[in-house]
Amino acid sequence: MSGTLLDVDDLRVTFPTRTGLIQAVRGVTFSLGRERLGIVGESGSGKSQTGRAIMGLTPPQALVSAKKLALDGADLLAMPARQRRALRGKRIAMILQDPKYSLDPVMSIGRQIVETLRTHEKVSKAEARERALAMLEAVQIRDPSRVFDLHPHEVSGGMGQRAMIAMMLIAGPEMMIADEPTSALDVTVQLDVLGILDRLVSERGMGLIFISHDLRLVASFCDRVIVMYAGKVVEQLKASELRDAQHPYTRGLLNCMPRIGYERHPLPVLDRKPEWAA
Amino acid sequence: MTPAISIDGLEVVFDRFRALKGVSLEVKSGESYGLVGESGSGKSTLLKAIAGLVPVKSGTITVNGKTLGARRDKAFYREVQMVFQDPYGSLHPRQTVDRLLQEPLAIHGFADGEKRIQQALDEVGLGNGFRFRYAHQLSGGQRQRVAIARALILEPSMLLLDEPTSALDASVQAEVLNLLEEVRRRRQLTFLMVSHDLAIITHMCERLMVMQNGEAVENLTAGQLIGHRVEKDYTRNLLRASEGFVRTA
Protein backbone atom coordinates (compact mmCIF):
# COMPACT_ATOMS: atom_id res chain seq x y z
CA MET A 1 0.00 0.00 0.00
CA SER A 2 1.61 3.22 -1.14
CA GLY A 3 0.69 6.57 0.33
CA THR A 4 -2.66 8.13 1.00
CA LEU A 5 -4.92 8.92 -1.91
CA LEU A 6 -7.87 10.35 -0.11
CA ASP A 7 -7.96 11.92 3.30
CA VAL A 8 -11.27 12.44 5.07
CA ASP A 9 -11.36 14.07 8.48
CA ASP A 10 -14.55 14.86 10.37
CA LEU A 11 -16.83 14.86 7.32
CA ARG A 12 -20.35 16.11 8.04
CA VAL A 13 -23.37 16.28 5.75
CA THR A 14 -26.42 18.12 7.04
CA PHE A 15 -29.82 18.44 5.40
CA PRO A 16 -32.08 21.32 6.39
CA THR A 17 -35.70 20.16 6.66
CA ARG A 18 -38.94 21.71 7.85
CA THR A 19 -38.47 20.11 11.24
CA GLY A 20 -34.85 21.16 11.68
CA LEU A 21 -31.44 19.93 10.64
CA ILE A 22 -30.91 16.27 9.83
CA GLN A 23 -27.33 15.12 10.17
CA ALA A 24 -26.87 12.33 7.65
CA VAL A 25 -23.12 12.05 8.12
CA ARG A 26 -21.71 13.02 11.51
CA GLY A 27 -17.96 13.27 11.68
CA VAL A 28 -16.63 10.50 9.48
CA THR A 29 -12.86 10.11 9.41
CA PHE A 30 -10.83 7.71 7.31
CA SER A 31 -8.10 7.59 4.72
CA LEU A 32 -7.82 5.58 1.53
CA GLY A 33 -4.68 4.28 -0.09
CA ARG A 34 -4.43 2.14 -3.19
CA GLU A 35 -6.66 -0.48 -1.66
CA ARG A 36 -10.21 -1.74 -1.55
CA LEU A 37 -12.11 -0.14 1.27
CA GLY A 38 -15.65 -1.24 2.08
CA ILE A 39 -18.22 1.02 3.70
CA VAL A 40 -21.05 -1.02 5.20
CA GLY A 41 -24.23 0.02 6.91
CA GLU A 42 -27.99 -0.24 6.75
CA SER A 43 -30.26 2.22 5.01
CA GLY A 44 -29.97 5.64 6.57
CA SER A 45 -26.52 5.00 8.00
CA GLY A 46 -25.00 7.72 5.81
CA LYS A 47 -22.81 5.42 3.71
CA SER A 48 -24.08 6.69 0.36
CA GLN A 49 -24.02 10.32 1.48
CA THR A 50 -20.39 9.85 2.47
CA GLY A 51 -19.60 8.64 -1.04
CA ARG A 52 -21.55 11.42 -2.65
CA ALA A 53 -19.91 14.09 -0.53
CA ILE A 54 -16.46 12.88 -1.65
CA MET A 55 -17.64 12.91 -5.25
CA GLY A 56 -19.24 16.35 -4.82
CA LEU A 57 -22.72 15.13 -5.66
CA THR A 58 -24.48 16.17 -2.49
CA PRO A 59 -27.83 17.88 -3.22
CA PRO A 60 -27.43 21.68 -3.30
CA GLN A 61 -29.57 22.35 -0.22
CA ALA A 62 -27.33 20.21 1.99
CA LEU A 63 -24.30 21.48 3.87
CA VAL A 64 -21.02 19.64 3.62
CA SER A 65 -18.21 20.41 6.02
CA ALA A 66 -15.01 18.69 6.98
CA LYS A 67 -11.78 19.47 8.75
CA LYS A 68 -10.13 17.90 5.76
CA LEU A 69 -11.37 16.38 2.53
CA ALA A 70 -8.39 16.07 0.25
CA LEU A 71 -7.51 14.05 -2.82
CA ASP A 72 -3.77 13.68 -3.12
CA GLY A 73 -3.32 16.77 -0.97
CA ALA A 74 -5.72 18.96 -2.98
CA ASP A 75 -8.54 20.32 -0.82
CA LEU A 76 -11.79 19.24 -2.50
CA LEU A 77 -14.05 21.58 -0.55
CA ALA A 78 -11.97 24.71 -1.14
CA MET A 79 -11.37 24.30 -4.85
CA PRO A 80 -13.51 26.17 -7.40
CA ALA A 81 -16.46 24.26 -8.88
CA ARG A 82 -14.82 24.21 -12.27
CA GLN A 83 -11.72 22.53 -11.02
CA ARG A 84 -13.74 20.01 -9.12
CA ARG A 85 -15.79 19.22 -12.22
CA ALA A 86 -12.62 18.50 -14.14
CA LEU A 87 -11.60 16.11 -11.41
CA ARG A 88 -14.88 14.25 -11.42
CA GLY A 89 -14.73 11.44 -13.94
CA LYS A 90 -11.05 12.10 -14.59
CA ARG A 91 -9.51 11.29 -11.24
CA ILE A 92 -12.48 10.10 -9.18
CA ALA A 93 -15.13 7.95 -10.82
CA MET A 94 -18.37 6.61 -9.45
CA ILE A 95 -20.45 3.54 -10.24
CA LEU A 96 -24.06 3.58 -9.16
CA GLN A 97 -26.42 0.79 -8.25
CA ASP A 98 -28.68 0.32 -11.21
CA PRO A 99 -27.46 0.71 -14.80
CA LYS A 100 -31.10 1.13 -15.85
CA TYR A 101 -31.17 4.53 -14.19
CA SER A 102 -27.57 5.65 -14.28
CA LEU A 103 -26.97 5.28 -18.02
CA ASP A 104 -28.44 7.81 -20.45
CA PRO A 105 -31.43 6.02 -22.00
CA VAL A 106 -31.40 7.95 -25.29
CA MET A 107 -27.71 7.63 -26.12
CA SER A 108 -25.97 4.52 -27.36
CA ILE A 109 -23.57 2.90 -24.92
CA GLY A 110 -20.60 3.61 -27.17
CA ARG A 111 -21.42 7.29 -27.52
CA GLN A 112 -21.66 7.64 -23.75
CA ILE A 113 -18.24 6.11 -23.27
CA VAL A 114 -16.73 8.27 -26.01
CA GLU A 115 -18.33 11.36 -24.50
CA THR A 116 -16.70 10.63 -21.14
CA LEU A 117 -13.32 10.17 -22.75
CA ARG A 118 -13.51 13.29 -24.93
CA THR A 119 -14.61 15.42 -22.00
CA HIS A 120 -11.36 14.70 -20.25
CA GLU A 121 -8.86 14.11 -23.00
CA LYS A 122 -8.15 15.65 -26.40
CA VAL A 123 -8.47 12.65 -28.69
CA SER A 124 -9.79 12.22 -32.20
CA LYS A 125 -13.17 10.59 -32.73
CA ALA A 126 -11.57 7.56 -34.34
CA GLU A 127 -9.15 7.08 -31.48
CA ALA A 128 -11.89 7.56 -28.90
CA ARG A 129 -13.90 4.83 -30.59
CA GLU A 130 -10.91 2.52 -30.61
CA ARG A 131 -10.31 3.07 -26.92
CA ALA A 132 -13.98 2.65 -26.04
CA LEU A 133 -14.04 -0.68 -27.88
CA ALA A 134 -10.87 -1.79 -26.10
CA MET A 135 -12.40 -0.80 -22.78
CA LEU A 136 -15.60 -2.75 -23.51
CA GLU A 137 -13.42 -5.73 -24.25
CA ALA A 138 -11.58 -5.23 -20.96
CA VAL A 139 -14.86 -5.58 -19.08
CA GLN A 140 -15.38 -8.91 -20.84
CA ILE A 141 -18.05 -7.89 -23.28
CA ARG A 142 -17.71 -10.48 -26.01
CA ASP A 143 -18.86 -8.51 -29.03
CA PRO A 144 -17.76 -4.91 -28.29
CA SER A 145 -18.62 -3.43 -31.69
CA ARG A 146 -22.20 -4.67 -31.42
CA VAL A 147 -22.68 -3.47 -27.84
CA PHE A 148 -21.11 -0.10 -28.77
CA ASP A 149 -24.19 0.71 -30.86
CA LEU A 150 -26.81 -0.63 -28.45
CA HIS A 151 -28.92 1.53 -26.18
CA PRO A 152 -29.07 0.81 -22.44
CA HIS A 153 -32.54 -0.75 -22.62
CA GLU A 154 -31.25 -3.33 -25.09
CA VAL A 155 -28.75 -4.89 -22.71
CA SER A 156 -29.12 -6.96 -19.55
CA GLY A 157 -28.37 -5.62 -16.08
CA GLY A 158 -24.99 -7.34 -15.91
CA MET A 159 -24.02 -6.04 -19.33
CA GLY A 160 -25.20 -2.52 -18.43
CA GLN A 161 -23.11 -2.55 -15.28
CA ARG A 162 -20.07 -3.69 -17.25
CA ALA A 163 -20.62 -0.83 -19.69
CA MET A 164 -20.87 1.51 -16.71
CA ILE A 165 -17.53 0.22 -15.38
CA ALA A 166 -15.99 0.67 -18.83
CA MET A 167 -17.25 4.25 -18.95
CA MET A 168 -15.88 5.03 -15.52
CA LEU A 169 -12.46 3.55 -16.16
CA ILE A 170 -11.83 4.97 -19.61
CA ALA A 171 -10.39 8.25 -18.38
CA GLY A 172 -8.03 6.32 -16.10
CA PRO A 173 -9.14 7.57 -12.67
CA GLU A 174 -7.00 6.98 -9.60
CA MET A 175 -9.95 6.41 -7.39
CA MET A 176 -13.37 4.90 -7.76
CA ILE A 177 -16.45 4.97 -5.60
CA ALA A 178 -18.80 2.07 -6.22
CA ASP A 179 -22.17 2.57 -4.54
CA GLU A 180 -23.91 -0.82 -4.35
CA PRO A 181 -22.57 -1.73 -7.81
CA THR A 182 -23.99 -5.25 -7.81
CA SER A 183 -27.13 -5.05 -5.66
CA ALA A 184 -29.44 -4.94 -8.68
CA LEU A 185 -27.84 -7.99 -10.27
CA ASP A 186 -28.42 -11.73 -9.96
CA VAL A 187 -26.00 -13.55 -7.67
CA THR A 188 -24.04 -15.30 -10.41
CA VAL A 189 -23.79 -12.14 -12.53
CA GLN A 190 -22.83 -10.27 -9.38
CA LEU A 191 -19.71 -12.40 -9.03
CA ASP A 192 -18.72 -11.88 -12.69
CA VAL A 193 -18.99 -8.11 -12.32
CA LEU A 194 -17.09 -8.14 -9.04
CA GLY A 195 -14.36 -10.23 -10.65
CA ILE A 196 -13.98 -7.68 -13.47
CA LEU A 197 -13.97 -4.77 -11.04
CA ASP A 198 -11.44 -6.51 -8.85
CA ARG A 199 -9.07 -7.25 -11.70
CA LEU A 200 -9.21 -3.77 -13.23
CA VAL A 201 -8.80 -2.02 -9.90
CA SER A 202 -5.75 -4.03 -8.92
CA GLU A 203 -4.18 -3.90 -12.41
CA ARG A 204 -4.37 -0.13 -12.41
CA GLY A 205 -3.46 0.29 -8.77
CA MET A 206 -6.57 2.29 -8.05
CA GLY A 207 -8.17 3.09 -4.72
CA LEU A 208 -11.69 1.73 -4.42
CA ILE A 209 -14.45 2.65 -2.03
CA PHE A 210 -17.07 -0.07 -2.13
CA ILE A 211 -20.33 0.96 -0.52
CA SER A 212 -22.75 -1.83 0.31
CA HIS A 213 -25.33 -3.05 2.78
CA ASP A 214 -24.03 -6.59 2.39
CA LEU A 215 -21.44 -7.12 5.10
CA ARG A 216 -20.51 -10.58 3.97
CA LEU A 217 -19.99 -9.61 0.34
CA VAL A 218 -17.84 -6.67 1.37
CA ALA A 219 -15.79 -8.83 3.70
CA SER A 220 -15.01 -11.24 0.88
CA PHE A 221 -14.16 -8.47 -1.60
CA CYS A 222 -12.41 -5.67 0.29
CA ASP A 223 -9.16 -5.30 2.22
CA ARG A 224 -10.56 -3.09 4.91
CA VAL A 225 -14.10 -2.40 6.16
CA ILE A 226 -15.69 0.63 7.76
CA VAL A 227 -18.99 -0.02 9.52
CA MET A 228 -21.38 2.92 9.76
CA TYR A 229 -24.40 3.41 11.97
CA ALA A 230 -26.57 6.55 12.18
CA GLY A 231 -24.05 8.70 10.31
CA LYS A 232 -21.02 7.61 12.31
CA VAL A 233 -18.24 5.12 11.92
CA VAL A 234 -18.72 2.57 14.68
CA GLU A 235 -15.88 0.27 13.68
CA GLN A 236 -12.94 0.08 11.27
CA LEU A 237 -11.25 -3.23 10.74
CA LYS A 238 -9.45 -5.48 8.33
CA ALA A 239 -11.84 -7.59 6.27
CA SER A 240 -10.03 -10.73 7.37
CA GLU A 241 -10.69 -9.86 11.00
CA LEU A 242 -14.42 -9.36 10.60
CA ARG A 243 -15.08 -12.54 12.56
CA ASP A 244 -13.50 -10.86 15.57
CA ALA A 245 -15.50 -7.66 15.25
CA GLN A 246 -15.86 -5.91 18.60
CA HIS A 247 -18.81 -3.60 18.13
CA PRO A 248 -22.17 -5.20 18.96
CA TYR A 249 -23.70 -3.62 15.86
CA THR A 250 -21.17 -5.24 13.53
CA ARG A 251 -21.57 -8.56 15.29
CA GLY A 252 -25.34 -8.24 15.20
CA LEU A 253 -25.33 -7.49 11.47
CA LEU A 254 -23.16 -10.52 10.77
CA ASN A 255 -25.26 -12.72 12.98
CA CYS A 256 -28.75 -11.88 11.82
CA MET A 257 -28.33 -13.16 8.27
CA PRO A 258 -29.46 -16.71 7.61
CA ARG A 259 -26.55 -18.92 6.54
CA ILE A 260 -26.65 -22.17 4.67
CA GLY A 261 -25.80 -24.97 7.05
CA TYR A 262 -26.33 -23.00 10.27
CA GLU A 263 -29.78 -23.69 11.65
CA ARG A 264 -30.97 -21.01 14.02
CA HIS A 265 -34.63 -20.60 14.83
CA PRO A 266 -35.51 -17.87 15.48
CA LEU A 267 -32.76 -15.78 13.94
CA PRO A 268 -30.93 -13.49 16.35
CA VAL A 269 -32.15 -9.93 15.94
CA LEU A 270 -30.37 -6.65 16.49
CA ASP A 271 -31.04 -5.05 19.81
CA ARG A 272 -30.32 -1.43 18.94
CA LYS A 273 -28.80 0.56 21.75
CA PRO A 274 -29.27 4.32 21.82
CA GLU A 275 -25.62 4.79 22.80
CA TRP A 276 -24.48 3.42 19.41
CA ALA A 277 -25.80 6.55 17.78
CA ALA A 278 -24.45 8.87 20.46
CA MET B 1 -54.31 -36.14 2.57
CA THR B 2 -54.98 -33.78 -0.29
CA PRO B 3 -52.02 -31.60 -1.14
CA ALA B 4 -52.38 -27.87 -0.48
CA ILE B 5 -51.18 -26.98 -3.95
CA SER B 6 -50.83 -29.28 -6.89
CA ILE B 7 -49.68 -27.86 -10.20
CA ASP B 8 -49.42 -29.87 -13.37
CA GLY B 9 -47.81 -28.76 -16.63
CA LEU B 10 -48.36 -25.07 -16.01
CA GLU B 11 -47.72 -22.88 -19.01
CA VAL B 12 -47.80 -19.07 -18.91
CA VAL B 13 -47.24 -17.05 -22.06
CA PHE B 14 -46.89 -13.28 -22.39
CA ASP B 15 -47.35 -12.39 -26.07
CA ARG B 16 -44.78 -14.74 -27.55
CA PHE B 17 -42.63 -15.11 -24.47
CA ARG B 18 -43.03 -18.38 -22.56
CA ALA B 19 -42.54 -17.37 -18.94
CA LEU B 20 -43.40 -20.83 -17.60
CA LYS B 21 -42.74 -23.90 -19.70
CA GLY B 22 -44.78 -26.74 -18.27
CA VAL B 23 -43.94 -26.58 -14.57
CA SER B 24 -45.30 -29.17 -12.13
CA LEU B 25 -45.22 -28.93 -8.37
CA GLU B 26 -46.83 -30.37 -5.27
CA VAL B 27 -46.93 -28.68 -1.88
CA LYS B 28 -48.25 -30.62 1.11
CA SER B 29 -50.64 -29.07 3.54
CA GLY B 30 -48.78 -27.26 6.32
CA GLU B 31 -45.52 -27.39 4.44
CA SER B 32 -43.19 -24.54 3.71
CA TYR B 33 -42.00 -24.76 0.12
CA GLY B 34 -39.41 -22.55 -1.55
CA LEU B 35 -38.89 -21.43 -5.13
CA VAL B 36 -35.36 -20.26 -5.95
CA GLY B 37 -33.95 -18.83 -9.13
CA GLU B 38 -32.51 -15.75 -10.74
CA SER B 39 -34.50 -12.98 -12.36
CA GLY B 40 -36.50 -14.22 -15.30
CA SER B 41 -36.63 -17.78 -14.01
CA GLY B 42 -40.41 -17.64 -13.66
CA LYS B 43 -40.57 -18.07 -9.89
CA SER B 44 -42.71 -14.99 -9.30
CA THR B 45 -44.85 -15.78 -12.33
CA LEU B 46 -45.65 -19.16 -10.79
CA LEU B 47 -46.84 -17.45 -7.63
CA LYS B 48 -48.89 -14.95 -9.58
CA ALA B 49 -50.44 -17.74 -11.65
CA ILE B 50 -51.71 -19.36 -8.46
CA ALA B 51 -53.10 -16.05 -7.22
CA GLY B 52 -54.81 -15.51 -10.57
CA LEU B 53 -52.79 -12.43 -11.44
CA VAL B 54 -51.45 -13.72 -14.77
CA PRO B 55 -53.32 -15.60 -17.50
CA VAL B 56 -52.65 -19.34 -17.63
CA LYS B 57 -52.30 -20.83 -21.10
CA SER B 58 -52.48 -24.48 -20.18
CA GLY B 59 -51.99 -26.84 -17.27
CA THR B 60 -53.94 -27.14 -14.05
CA ILE B 61 -53.64 -25.60 -10.62
CA THR B 62 -55.38 -27.39 -7.76
CA VAL B 63 -55.59 -25.73 -4.37
CA ASN B 64 -56.92 -27.72 -1.40
CA GLY B 65 -58.46 -30.24 -3.77
CA LYS B 66 -60.26 -27.69 -5.94
CA THR B 67 -59.08 -27.19 -9.50
CA LEU B 68 -58.99 -23.51 -10.32
CA GLY B 69 -60.57 -21.99 -13.40
CA ALA B 70 -59.75 -18.71 -15.09
CA ARG B 71 -61.44 -16.71 -12.33
CA ARG B 72 -60.89 -16.99 -8.61
CA ASP B 73 -63.88 -16.73 -6.33
CA LYS B 74 -64.07 -14.99 -2.99
CA ALA B 75 -63.67 -18.24 -1.09
CA PHE B 76 -60.31 -18.79 -2.78
CA TYR B 77 -58.93 -15.49 -1.54
CA ARG B 78 -60.04 -16.30 2.01
CA GLU B 79 -57.83 -19.35 1.83
CA VAL B 80 -54.90 -17.97 -0.12
CA GLN B 81 -53.27 -14.59 0.52
CA MET B 82 -50.18 -13.02 -0.95
CA VAL B 83 -47.40 -10.82 0.45
CA PHE B 84 -45.49 -8.84 -2.13
CA GLN B 85 -41.85 -7.89 -2.40
CA ASP B 86 -42.02 -4.14 -2.26
CA PRO B 87 -43.61 -2.87 0.94
CA TYR B 88 -43.47 0.64 -0.51
CA GLY B 89 -45.59 -0.28 -3.50
CA SER B 90 -48.05 -2.74 -2.03
CA LEU B 91 -49.81 -0.49 0.50
CA HIS B 92 -52.24 2.21 -0.59
CA PRO B 93 -50.46 5.52 -0.01
CA ARG B 94 -53.62 7.41 0.93
CA GLN B 95 -55.20 4.90 3.27
CA THR B 96 -54.46 4.53 6.94
CA VAL B 97 -53.41 1.13 8.28
CA ASP B 98 -56.89 0.83 9.78
CA ARG B 99 -58.56 1.45 6.42
CA LEU B 100 -56.16 -0.97 4.69
CA LEU B 101 -57.07 -3.73 7.12
CA GLN B 102 -60.80 -3.00 6.94
CA GLU B 103 -60.94 -3.52 3.20
CA PRO B 104 -60.49 -7.32 3.14
CA LEU B 105 -62.88 -7.63 6.10
CA ALA B 106 -65.55 -5.61 4.28
CA ILE B 107 -65.14 -7.60 1.08
CA HIS B 108 -65.55 -10.88 2.90
CA GLY B 109 -68.31 -9.65 5.20
CA PHE B 110 -66.66 -10.09 8.57
CA ALA B 111 -68.70 -8.56 11.38
CA ASP B 112 -66.21 -8.20 14.23
CA GLY B 113 -63.78 -5.96 12.32
CA GLU B 114 -62.74 -3.89 15.32
CA LYS B 115 -61.49 -6.88 17.27
CA ARG B 116 -59.83 -8.52 14.29
CA ILE B 117 -57.85 -5.42 13.33
CA GLN B 118 -56.53 -5.13 16.86
CA GLN B 119 -55.65 -8.81 16.95
CA ALA B 120 -53.95 -8.71 13.56
CA LEU B 121 -51.82 -5.72 14.54
CA ASP B 122 -50.86 -7.37 17.82
CA GLU B 123 -49.97 -10.57 16.05
CA VAL B 124 -47.45 -8.87 13.77
CA GLY B 125 -45.92 -6.93 16.63
CA LEU B 126 -47.39 -3.53 15.83
CA GLY B 127 -49.43 -2.04 18.64
CA ASN B 128 -52.64 -0.08 18.35
CA GLY B 129 -50.53 3.05 17.99
CA PHE B 130 -49.89 2.21 14.36
CA ARG B 131 -53.53 1.90 13.47
CA PHE B 132 -54.16 5.38 12.18
CA ARG B 133 -50.89 5.97 10.42
CA TYR B 134 -50.30 6.17 6.70
CA ALA B 135 -47.83 3.93 4.88
CA HIS B 136 -45.34 6.79 4.43
CA GLN B 137 -45.16 7.19 8.20
CA LEU B 138 -43.86 3.64 8.58
CA SER B 139 -40.44 2.11 8.02
CA GLY B 140 -39.94 -0.66 5.46
CA GLY B 141 -40.10 -3.38 8.09
CA GLN B 142 -43.25 -1.93 9.64
CA ARG B 143 -44.91 -1.75 6.23
CA GLN B 144 -44.11 -5.37 5.56
CA ARG B 145 -45.64 -6.20 8.95
CA VAL B 146 -48.81 -4.37 7.89
CA ALA B 147 -48.82 -6.34 4.62
CA ILE B 148 -48.53 -9.57 6.61
CA ALA B 149 -51.32 -8.45 8.95
CA ARG B 150 -53.51 -7.71 5.95
CA ALA B 151 -52.83 -11.19 4.60
CA LEU B 152 -53.50 -12.86 7.96
CA ILE B 153 -56.65 -10.97 8.87
CA LEU B 154 -58.80 -13.27 6.74
CA GLU B 155 -57.36 -16.32 8.49
CA PRO B 156 -56.09 -17.97 5.31
CA SER B 157 -54.58 -21.43 5.26
CA MET B 158 -51.88 -20.50 2.80
CA LEU B 159 -49.55 -17.57 2.18
CA LEU B 160 -47.83 -16.85 -1.12
CA LEU B 161 -44.68 -14.90 -0.28
CA ASP B 162 -42.92 -13.13 -3.13
CA GLU B 163 -39.46 -12.07 -1.90
CA PRO B 164 -40.99 -10.69 1.30
CA THR B 165 -37.69 -9.44 2.72
CA SER B 166 -35.49 -8.55 -0.22
CA ALA B 167 -36.25 -4.83 0.06
CA LEU B 168 -35.36 -4.79 3.76
CA ASP B 169 -32.14 -4.31 5.70
CA ALA B 170 -30.52 -7.48 7.05
CA SER B 171 -31.50 -6.81 10.66
CA VAL B 172 -35.11 -6.06 9.70
CA GLN B 173 -35.13 -9.09 7.44
CA ALA B 174 -34.31 -11.28 10.44
CA GLU B 175 -37.25 -9.81 12.36
CA VAL B 176 -39.70 -10.35 9.49
CA LEU B 177 -38.47 -13.91 8.86
CA ASN B 178 -38.89 -14.69 12.55
CA LEU B 179 -42.40 -13.25 12.47
CA LEU B 180 -43.32 -15.36 9.44
CA GLU B 181 -42.02 -18.53 11.10
CA GLU B 182 -43.93 -17.73 14.24
CA VAL B 183 -47.29 -17.15 12.54
CA ARG B 184 -46.78 -20.26 10.47
CA ARG B 185 -46.22 -22.36 13.57
CA ARG B 186 -49.12 -20.79 15.43
CA ARG B 187 -51.64 -21.10 12.59
CA GLN B 188 -50.22 -24.13 10.82
CA LEU B 189 -50.04 -22.26 7.54
CA THR B 190 -48.77 -23.52 4.23
CA PHE B 191 -46.08 -21.28 2.77
CA LEU B 192 -45.03 -21.01 -0.83
CA MET B 193 -42.09 -18.67 -0.77
CA VAL B 194 -40.09 -17.14 -3.59
CA SER B 195 -36.56 -15.86 -3.08
CA HIS B 196 -33.33 -15.43 -4.97
CA ASP B 197 -31.44 -16.07 -1.74
CA LEU B 198 -30.64 -19.72 -1.08
CA ALA B 199 -29.82 -19.04 2.56
CA ILE B 200 -33.30 -17.61 3.21
CA ILE B 201 -34.98 -20.53 1.48
CA THR B 202 -33.01 -23.15 3.42
CA HIS B 203 -33.79 -21.24 6.60
CA MET B 204 -37.53 -21.04 5.95
CA CYS B 205 -38.46 -24.06 3.85
CA GLU B 206 -38.37 -27.82 4.10
CA ARG B 207 -38.40 -28.46 0.38
CA LEU B 208 -37.61 -26.30 -2.60
CA MET B 209 -37.52 -26.13 -6.35
CA VAL B 210 -34.71 -24.48 -8.31
CA MET B 211 -35.95 -22.71 -11.44
CA GLN B 212 -34.26 -21.34 -14.54
CA ASN B 213 -35.75 -19.84 -17.72
CA GLY B 214 -39.29 -20.87 -16.85
CA GLU B 215 -38.43 -24.47 -16.11
CA ALA B 216 -37.79 -26.53 -13.00
CA VAL B 217 -34.11 -27.39 -12.70
CA GLU B 218 -34.43 -29.69 -9.72
CA ASN B 219 -36.43 -30.44 -6.60
CA LEU B 220 -34.54 -30.68 -3.35
CA THR B 221 -35.02 -30.87 0.37
CA ALA B 222 -33.38 -28.17 2.45
CA GLY B 223 -31.11 -30.87 3.87
CA GLN B 224 -29.87 -31.88 0.44
CA LEU B 225 -29.05 -28.27 -0.39
CA ILE B 226 -27.25 -27.71 2.91
CA GLY B 227 -25.24 -30.90 2.39
CA HIS B 228 -24.44 -29.79 -1.20
CA ARG B 229 -26.06 -33.00 -2.44
CA VAL B 230 -27.31 -31.40 -5.64
CA GLU B 231 -27.46 -32.90 -9.12
CA LYS B 232 -27.40 -29.96 -11.48
CA ASP B 233 -24.51 -27.62 -12.25
CA TYR B 234 -26.85 -24.66 -12.22
CA THR B 235 -27.75 -25.28 -8.57
CA ARG B 236 -24.09 -25.80 -7.75
CA ASN B 237 -23.28 -22.43 -9.31
CA LEU B 238 -25.99 -20.75 -7.27
CA LEU B 239 -24.62 -22.36 -4.13
CA ARG B 240 -21.12 -21.19 -4.91
CA ALA B 241 -22.31 -17.67 -5.68
CA SER B 242 -24.14 -17.48 -2.38
CA GLU B 243 -20.89 -17.99 -0.51
CA GLY B 244 -19.57 -14.60 -1.57
CA PHE B 245 -16.71 -13.35 -3.70
CA VAL B 246 -13.65 -15.55 -4.07
CA ARG B 247 -10.53 -13.96 -5.51
CA THR B 248 -8.87 -16.00 -8.22
CA ALA B 249 -5.17 -15.52 -7.70
Strands B80-83 and B158-162 come out as: parallel
Q: Examine the pLDDT at A265 and tell me if it is beyond 90.
A: no
CATH topology of domain B29-52+70-241: Rossmann fold (3.40.50)
- pLDDT tens-digit series, residues A146-194: 999 999 999 988 899 999 999 999 999 999 999 999 888 888 888 888 9
pLDDT, residue A98, reads 85
pLDDT, residue A66, reads 96
Q: A interface mutation test: which of B203, B212, B239, B243 has the most A CBs within 10 A?
A: B203
Residue A3 has phi, psi (to 5 degrees) of: 65, 170
Annotate B125-184 with DSSP letters as a single string. Answer: T--GGGTT-BGGGS-HHHHHHHHHHHHHTT--SEEEEESTTTTS-HHHHHHHHHHHHHHH
- pLDDT tens-digit series, residues A73-104: 999 999 999 999 999 999 999 998 888 889 99
pLDDT, residue B244, reads 81
The answer to whether the CB atoms of A191 and B173 lie below 8 A apart is no
Number of continuous H segments (helices) and E segments (strands) in chain B: 9, 10
The model's pTM: 0.88
List of chain A residues whose C-beta atoms are within 8 Å of the C-beta of residue B174:
256-258, 267-270
- pLDDT tens-digit series, residues A183-241: 888 888 888 889 989 998 899 999 999 999 988 889 889 999 999 999 999 999 999 89
Closest partner residue to B38 (CB to CB) among A188, A194, A195 is: A188
Q: How confident is the model at residue A1 (pLDDT cuts 50, 70, 90)?
A: very low
Mean pLDDT, rounded, of chain A: 92
- pLDDT tens-digit series, residues B66-78: 999 888 999 999 9
| Percent of chain A residues topping a pLDDT of 70 | 99
d(CA A42, CA A231): 10
Q: B interface mutation test: which of A100, A161, A187 has the most B CBs within 10 A?
A: A187
Q: Which amino acid is at A25?
A: V
Residue A118 has phi, psi (to 5 degrees) of: -75, -15
The answer to whether the CB atoms of A188 and B238 lie below 8 A apart is yes
Closest partner residue to A270 (CB to CB) among B171, B182, B239 is: B171
The stretch A125-141 carries a mean pLDDT of: 94
Ranges of residues in chain B with a pLDDT under 50 are none
pLDDT, residue A2, reads 53
Q: How confident is the model at residue A26 (pLDDT cuts 50, 70, 90)?
A: very high
List of chain B residues whose C-beta atoms are within 8 Å of the C-beta of residue A266:
177-178, 181-182
Domain ranges in chain B are 29-52+70-241
A248 lies within 8 A of chain B by CB: no
For residues B24 and B216, the answer to whether their CB atoms sit within 8 Å is: yes
This complex has an ipTM of 0.82
Give, in degrees to the nearest 5, the angle at Cα A60 between A54 and A64: 45
